[in-house]
Amino acid sequence: MPVFPATSPASSNLLPLSIGPLRIGFPVVQAALSGYSDLPMRVLARRHGASYSVCEVMLDQFLLAIGERRKTQHFLAIADEEHPVGGQLMGAEPEQFAAGAERLAAAGFDVIDINFGCPVKKVLGRCRGGFHLSQPDVALDIIRRTRDIVPAHLPVTVKMRRGIDDTDEARENFFRILDGAIEAGVAGVTVHGRTVAQRYIGPSRWSFLAEVTRHVAGRISVLGSGDLFSAADCLRMIAETGVDGVTVARGAIGNPWIFAQAQALAAGEPLPPPPSLPEQAAVIREHFRLIEQIYGPERAPLLMRKFAIKYSASHPQHETVRLRVVRLRSAEELWQVLEEFYATGEGQYPPEGIHRSQEE
């Protein structure tokens, strides 16, 4: 199995990623990111080399109630250029969950992804997300109902953490759910190397991903998640664990270039230099225009703020730029920042650890 050094070029014989009958391509893809991976972020990721992306997680109750209002219709918006794209779903009750999955399929998503990984306290308190890893019977009921109601040609996948905690019972529950999911017909599983109890504290245990890969033995596709903040991280996870692909979460916010960088390393080319400041400015403008198209000019500046903060990590004066964009309230203010800070000069790779305290 090839090993990809963290600081030197590497070549590989990476196999293209497939999820069931769906051929994805290069096996570094964009993860679902609550509050972030909307249509503009997904489109930019695709334009910069991501072969697949997943929408921000949606609640089954919300999906069943969503109407055609401009304020909410963006949740189900899909651009022609971003196929294949996954729709991720979260909920508590199996029957309602399946109905939400049916709505996602009808909206045009190419893969339906079941979220059993979210560690946020308010989600766990409502018996959603990662909570299901503590109740295998309910989890498997959700999986079976979802697979039954989603059209047969659409793959169903599951996002999991390595357990609710590090007890023996949690480990047994994880593999019971995994084996039951395979039996029910899921096409793939994404595994995050932390437990639900860990949330985002401490390192992701990549050795567990290798164990899952051996356990699955090619029956379904396995994607790895956790601590992927550079192109080298992505290829190293594949090399060390044998997963079929990786999903980049926090490392892709404000950093769509990570996908092309990973492709270059995988092809045996040198790591591309970080995008110059004018190149960054062009992408930020493009991102803002996409947000305007989806949400309207009134909402766009405030929605762009959280992304502008993430983009600032690639600026050599990132703290100064961050303090400017954190107060962003208008398009004019954004253009002023770009003119003042992004007109000329070289960029940088986001400093190591800058995203590690932020939730994915």
The catalytic residue positions are 118
For residue 225, the surrounding DSSP H or E stretch is: strand 221-225
Can you read off the two tokens belonging to residue 306?
């959280």
Contact 86, 110 (CB under 8 A): yes
| Contact between residue 271 and residue 260 where contact means Cβ atoms under 8 Å apart | no
Q: State the helix-helix crossing angle for 168-184 and 136-149, rounded to 10 degrees.
A: 20
CA distance 96 to 8: 49
Backbone angles phi, psi at 55, to 5 degrees: -70, 165
- The two three-digit tokens of residue 90, written as one number: 């979260």
8-state DSSP, 86:
E
Which residues sit opposite 22 in a β-bridge? 19
CA–CA gap between residue 252 and residue 310 (Å, rounded): 9
Q: Quick check: 87 and 58 in contact, CB under 8 A?
A: yes
Report the SS3 class of residue 19. Answer: strand
